[in-house]
Structure 1
Amino acid sequence: MDLQHWQRQFETWLRRHHVDQDAAHDLFHFRRVWITAQTLGDGVEVDWLVVLTACYFHDLISLPKNHPDRHRSSVLAAQETCRVLTRDFPDFPVDRLPAVSHAIEAHSFSAKITPESIEAKIVQDADRLEALGAIGLARVFAVSGSLGVALFDAEDPFAQHRELNDKQYALDHFQTKLLTLPLTMQTEHGRHLAQHNADFLLTYMAKLSAELKGDYEMLDLAAIQPLNARQQR
């Protein structure tokens, strides 16, 4: 099975049919998820065509974060992917469609679908790693900005005295989702990388807290201490 052949075909199709997506769900996101998936699956017996296909089509439908049916995005994407593969890729092996569909359905955080196959676990981990670290940080503020969400609550940036609300403050998304991701990872390598990147986000938060207090040289480690403790639970 020539994976490069399928990758070229998928990218050509996406350039023609998937051009109006936000920067968090574009072709380059799919390509990065595929690269990460290969790292996570190194040395593991995997159906790589299933992984490749799911990586490139997992966000074929991605409803906005403020859409009432947001949690159904991955199921809708799986259904649409099967239609696209059947219609536009007649040489794609139909026996792979159920596995591709499951991997796409299970990648979503909000769908709460447990990945059953090693392929689905790798795709889920690879996509969640994209949400962490420097790229993840940029995506949070890019998506929040497009939705008109404030960067953070200047009076209480880490929600020490209020309820978290990532629909109102972008920074709240770190606590409502991103910092919880290491505990959801399905592969050992994924857990290690996720914790490493979550630590980066905590460092960013410590730097932000210091700057809000007028200190541009140090980290406010006391501000993130409760978050560190919460991560260890």
Structure 2
Amino acid sequence: MNEKTEKIHEYVKSVLGQGSSHGLDHVERVTRLCETIGAREHADMGILLPAALLHDIGRPVEKEKGTPHEAEGAQIAERFLRSIGYDEDLIPPITHAIRTHRFRSKETPGTPEARILADADKLDAMGAVGIGRTFMRAAEHGGTVNDAVEHFHDKLLKLKDLIHTETARDIARERHEFLAGFLATLEREMDLSSPQFFDPELL
């Protein structure tokens, strides 16, 4: 990391911390995916890496006030990047990428860097890591295994078809296959413990 990227990383660490489905570990994985995909897709890393590091910076505000974190995060990122003297010409494409990264974003990613960030964020919701994060998310919301299963169907199984870049599509195919196989096994095991199979006499 260069000096300014390190400052961004330290700032994100101070705001998000660890210990959640959208904590620093998620941000770092997304950033590493952006590095891999960005290198192959010839992205501008001066835009992509700050956007990746800052993409969830609005999560605490969303949790507190209900404001969409992508919109709030773009504003927070803009203020912070100016405060550290980041290249002014790069700030608008960084905030655009943040504003459009989310699965439910109303705006469409309009630059290569924005599309890569959106892809990397989706990839971290797939595969083994995505499975782990789904159960963390369910626990954070006081949910159950059934809530996690619902999230698989509502979101995660749809992600493969929403990937923008060829590099990310290659990664997504493998992660989707793993996720779908896990879900099929989980639902099969849950069927065996459904009320139709439950016999109180056996307790």
TM-score w.r.t. structure 2 length?
Answer: 0.86
**TM superposition shift of 1:14:** 2.5
Superposition pairs of residues 1-233 of structure 1, within 5 angstroms: 3-19=1-17, 22-62=19-59, 63-64=62-63, 69=66, 72-87=68-83, 89-90=84-85, 92-152=86-146, 169-212=147-190
Unaligned runs of 5+ in 2: 194-203
Taking a change above 3 Å as real, the CA distance of residues 69 and 204 of structure 1, as seen in their structure-2 partners, is same
| Alignment deviations for residues 9-35 of structure 1 (CA, whole Å, 9 cap, x no partner) | 22222233333x652222221111111
Name the % identity: 30
Of Structure 1 and Structure 2, the greater helix share is in: 2
| Alignment deviations for residues 77-123 of structure 1 (CA, whole Å, 9 cap, x no partner) | 00111011112x12x11111100010001101122321110000111
SS of aligned partner of 2:142: coil
Taking a change above 3 Å as real, the CA distance of residues 11 and 178 of structure 1, as seen in their structure-2 partners, is same
Unaligned runs of 5+ in 1: 153-168, 216-233
Asked whether the equivalents of residues 30 and 121 of structure 2 are also in contact (C-alpha less than 8 Å), the reply is: yes
Q: Kindly tell me the number of residue pairs found equivalent between the two proteins.
A: 191
Taking a change above 3 Å as real, the CA distance of residues 118 and 60 of structure 1, as seen in their structure-2 partners, is same
**TM superposition shift of 1:214:** 5.3
CA distance in 2, matches of 1:193, 1:43: 13
Aligned-residue Cα RMSD (Å) equals: 2.1
SS of aligned partner of 1:131: coil
Q: Find the counterpart in structure 2 of residue 222 from structure 1.
A: none
| Alignment deviations for residues 127-184 of structure 1 (CA, whole Å, 9 cap, x no partner) | 11001111111111111111111211xxxxxxxxxxxxxxxx2211111111101111
CA distance in 1, matches of 2:157, 2:187: 17
SS of aligned partner of 1:25: coil
Taking a change above 3 Å as real, the CA distance of residues 205 and 15 of structure 1, as seen in their structure-2 partners, is closer
